[in-house]
Amino acid sequence: MTTRPSSGTVSVRMYRGILGDCFLLRHQLEGAGVKHILIDCGVLQGVENARALMKDIVNDLLTTTGGKLDLLVVTHEHHDHLSGFLYEQETFKSQFDIVEFWLAWTENPADPQAVALHQHFNKAKNSLAAMAGHSAISALKNNNVHIKTVLDLSAFLGVAGGGRPTGASTLQMLKDKATPARTRYLEPGDVVEPRAIAGLKAHVMGPPRDEKRLRKDSPSQGPAKEVYLTDQEDAHAIELQVNQLDDKPVEALDIPFARLHQRPLAAVKQGKPSGWTNTQKLYFDPAESKRTIDDEWYSSAETLALKLDSDTNNTSLVLAFELPDKQVLLFPGDAQVGNWLSWADQTYPRTPDPLQGAALTVDDILARVTLYKVGHHCSHNATLRQMGLEKMTDDRLVAMIPLVTAVAEGNDWCMPYPDLYAALKKQTQNRVVIGDSVIADESAAFMKKPTAEQNPAVLDYHSQGLWVEIKISF
């Protein structure tokens, strides 16, 4: 006798106008109450009225859930995924109950590989924080493209304004709130079921354990060399440069020339000691300023900031939630190329259990995706083409993009990336929801091309535009 799958609905609410991720899932199984899953809660620094908007969002979360989060998921340590917990921490501490808290293995303080990875990231973050907070460097933002990139990316990294990175302390606050007994660190290939939510399970796709995968942020093109994790030497070099701006002494080991060939810059500027060549004096001639190399290190700082941003994205916890009828809701955080490629490195579950039936492959899972939370605000390297989107072949597919296009354009960020956006609209038959688009137009697209003849996905929205929600039946 075949057992009929349980029926019900899941509503995926995306909060709008934040250029950050904040998704609330309301899962209701037939005959059971509504269960709530919160995936990330962040707003990008620089978004107009960011803190007031986040207060409205958290108040809505509190009202909708009654203060009970049956499952909290944080995908990775980026400001635009975490800052809501920081800004409204007193509300989260005092008024919310967290039944279960899921994080990636990369956040496990008892995992040696995770600890080493964080030490690596923290070195780079601290160097960039010192740079971003230095008044002499900040003053150059409008005149130096490298400095502008570093300071702009600091908004994502959470190190702007000279403060120390806040991601780790925010995560610790949530861990303390949830308690260790309710906190789970997930591995790629795990298949897990939320303790309090019947009829739902999650396939853990990433982040990978393989550091070659973890380090791969950008697509390979022909013989182009792959990009790798930020170098400790790069971060150290930036620290030295920032210290020199404050006339702090440089350790002898950090000076690249033997003592015989060292010349104090102050003495060179004054033309002392005697016997120095005209070339040395010419270096400080104002008329020759375009030929100096003092500011060349800014480009290295830009490279470090870009790489740190991408590397952190690649540690994203990737979850494919499977509903009772086998539909899949894919939440990849901001996973980039290496993370996506690693999904084929294991089956789901990682170790097949004959009692549970055949293990799934990545192709099996992607073919069942009916809702895709588009990674990294629809940037160019956070959705794979042949190994990703083109494998999402279910006719019911819809997509949600947490993006404020005006903010992206103001910062010269190519979001949504045109080719990817066009591909998403084609794959979903125009059923794409964006964080600041015209909701009426999106509703019309859902009505023109329903996801199914019976019980199609339904688009709903807040009367004042705070959120948009897709309700899926199973």
pLDDT digits (tens, 9 = 90+) for 106-162: 999 999 999 998 877 766 666 666 666 665 566 656 666 666 666 666 555 555 444
What is the overall mean pLDDT for the chain? 83
Q: What is the pTM of this model?
A: 0.79
Average pLDDT over residues 293-319: 65
3-state SS assignment for residue 261: helix
148 found inside a domain: no
Provide the percentage of residues in the chain whose pLDDT is more than 70.
Answer: 70
Identify the pLDDT of residue 216: 82
318 domain-assigned? yes
Q: Alpha-carbon distance 139 to 247, whole Å?
A: 18
472 forms beta bridges with: 10
State how far the Cα of 88 lies from the Cα of 127, in Å rounded to an integer: 27
Residue ranges in 100-141 assigned as alpha helix (H): 112-132, 135-138
pLDDT of amino acid 413: 86
Q: What is the pLDDT of residues 312-359, one digit of tens each?
A: 788 999 999 999 999 999 999 999 999 999 999 999 999 988 877 889
Q: Rounded distance, CA 189 to CA 320, Å?
A: 11
Band (pLDDT 50/70/90 cuts) for residue 46 is confident
Identify the pLDDT of residue 410.
85
Question: Using CB atoms within 10 A of its CB, is residue 355 exposed (0-12), middle (13-18) or buried (19+)?
Answer: exposed
Helix axes 112-132, 297-313, angle to 10 degrees: 140
**Per mean pLDDT, which range of 240-254, 336-350, 431-445 is the poorest?**
240-254
Residue 403 in any domain: the answer is: yes
Task: State how far the alpha carbon of 207 is from the alpha carbons of 59, 105, 215, in Å.
Answer: 31, 8, 11
According to DSSP, the β-strands at 398-401 and 369-373 are parallel
Of 225, 161, 182, 202, the residue nearest 69 (C-alpha)? 182
Per-residue pLDDT band at 281 (split at 50, 70, 90): low
> What is the average pLDDT across 374-399?
94
Residue 299 within any structural domain of the chain: no
- 142: phi then psi, degrees, rounded to nearest 5: -80, -5
Pairing outcome for strands 101-104 and 183-186: parallel
Greater model confidence, 280 or 376: 376
**Residue 40, in any domain of the structure:** yes
pLDDT at 308: 52
Among 122-131, 133-142, 191-200, 251-260, which is the least confidently predicted range? Answer: 251-260
Instruction: Say what the pLDDT of residue 132 is.
Output: 62
- Greater confidence (273 vs 459) lies with 459
225 vs 433 pLDDT, higher one: 433
Q: Would you say 8 and 327 are in contact if contact means Cβ atoms under 8 Å apart?
A: no
Mean pLDDT of 180-189: 98
- CATH code for position 335: 3.60.15.10
Per the structure, the complete domain to which residue 44 belongs is given by 8-120+156-220+308-473
The pLDDT of residue 159 is 56
Q: Is 283 part of any domain?
A: no
Q: What's the total number of domains in the chain? A: 1
